[in-house]
Chain A
Amino acid sequence: MARFLPLGRAVAENLRDGDTAAFEGFTHLIPTAAAHEAIRQGFRDLTLVRMTPDLVYDQMVGMGMAKKIVFSYAGNPGVGLLRRFRDAVENGFPHPIEIEEHSHAAMANAYEAGAAGLPCAVFRGYRGAGLAEVNPNVGSVTCPFTGEVLAAVPALRPDVTFIHAQKASRRGDVLIEGIIGVQKEAVLAARRAVVTVEEVVDDFDGLHPNLTVLPAWTVTAIAVVPGGSHPSYAHGFYDRDNAAYLEWDEISADRDRFRAWMEENVMRKSDGDFASRVSHLRKARR
């Protein structure tokens, strides 16, 4: 059953060195505050799973927290490449990382298989694709009814999944709206789930009956962090900080500048600082 906790405790109690952790979000609702808290607490040897590792994975890789990345698109969305991730893959800095690379279809299916309690996901994919040759976790199965050969990948089952959502009710149900990505599957596939939310409301009474809601008993911990997905956005709350994504391209290009930025903007800050980072983006919407 979901417990409301300060973010520091929610992260400390649910993430461990060596864990397989997913900080999910598909451009929208990236759990930045949770990732920054994990960086401050200095976890090591993490296997980081995410379809679209972006700035927060670049930051965790650059800070030396990752042993392995499981992913399907490692880019700064709309801007270009991830420079700390590249430095690790191309130059082994700050240390070499292992990569397990998939297509989006494979990752999405693998999370769904995890949520469905299946050992693997089966789909029509990877035909003629180079990833099938370099990733030993791409296999195949033959349909017993038609004989069609289909791709298979192992189910994703993170030790812990972190997501950001718009709202929690007082009893701990979680509401996600807008581009919902793969967050529901990532939560249901994981052993533990930590959710940061923009706000807490009394209940979800009177809302549309088909909204994406994660019941309180599927969530381990909830932390209230307004602005917690900056520089991505929270639909209905604040816009995407496109300028921050463009700036990251320059900050991350240089090892020293990256360290200095992390020191100033992550290590010496707290989750309480996120609200002010989105204040100018709220005005844009309302």
Chain B
Amino acid sequence: MSDAKAAPGFTPDEMMTIAASRALRDDDVCFVGIGAPSAACNVARLTHAPGITLIYESGTIGTAPDVLPLSIGDGELCDTAVTTVSVPEMFRYWLQGGRISVGFLGAAQLDRFGNINTTVIGGYGQPKTRLPGGGGAPEIASSAGEIYITMAQSRRGMVERIDFFTSFGHGEGGDHRQRLGIHTKGPTLLVTDLAVWKPDPVTREFTVVALHPGVTRDRVAETCGWPAKFADRLEETPAPTDLELETLRDLQARTKAAHARNRRQEAV
């Protein structure tokens, strides 16, 4: 809440989505994870990257939804896609075939090397919390050209050690990917509600390179479960433009209205 006060006019969540959207380019082919990545990818498409190809794992290629899908398989994604392929084809030809430039993922648990856990909290055999699992993420993490991650900061989410390696990032850091025979770049960007992080070129540890407007180093450090490192030259993320903010809010308003429609009809 204090962050919203420090930066009037937009929320930390809005800043996160918009900062994440800016990383995408017009010629990217992006494999979109559900949730926060989906919002960021569609804001990019509706602002600076109209030519971007958005792909959801349900098989929809080049989709342009008017509202954010609740699931990765909503009909809206198919209706607006250039083509819809089967799930085996999606994973074999398009992802494994090397056609995806960016995989955009969220995370339940993340460590400093961009390794992601969405499988279990606690031990695998006797989990404290059984999460949904990896879905497409394990192979997105290794087959997409590079990986962008977006999530809100918290000590529960950004942890010293993840409980399970659902998706491999930079492992123990350094050249761990290469040693496992993974030739894609892996995580190159982390956008949170407070900051933009990039991996150190040598150690591959995520390092804060920009703070969002009004955010302090202390705030970033205290909401991160590992000792946060900061770049020597720390930048400030440019505040959302009117166009970005309006695009995001319109998208979210349309989404909310569309998803509430069923209930109203049911009540009638």
Contact = CB atoms under 8 A, between A and B. Distances in A.
B129 A90 contact: yes
A93 to B, nearest CB: 13
B265 A26 contact: no
A73 B134 contact: yes
B139 A105 contact: yes
Contacts of B262: 239, 241-244, 280-281, 284
Given A125-B142, A182-B87, A284-B265, A26 B58 contact: yes
Interface residues of B, number: 61
Given A128-B142, A185-B86, A105 B263 contact: no
A81 B75 contact: no
A72 interface: yes
Nearest to B126: A90
B86 A182 contact: yes
A131 B168 CA distance: 11
Contacts of A74: 130, 132-133
Nearest to A244: B262
A271 interface: no
Given A179-B59, A244-B262, A281-B262, 15 more contacts: A26-B87, A27-B58, A73-B136, A75-B133, A78-B71, A81-B129, A82-B132, A101-B119, A103-B139, A124-B142, A127-B142, A129-B168, A131-B119, A131-B134, A134-B125
Interface of A: 26-28, 51-52, 71-75, 77-79, 81-82, 85-86, 89-90, 101, 103-105, 108-109, 111-112, 123-131, 134, 148-149, 178-182, 184-185, 212, 233, 235, 239-245, 280-281, 283-284
Interface of B: 34, 57-60, 69-75, 77-78, 84, 86-88, 90-92, 95-96, 119, 124-139, 141-143, 164-168, 171, 176-177, 180-182, 259, 261-263, 265-266, 268
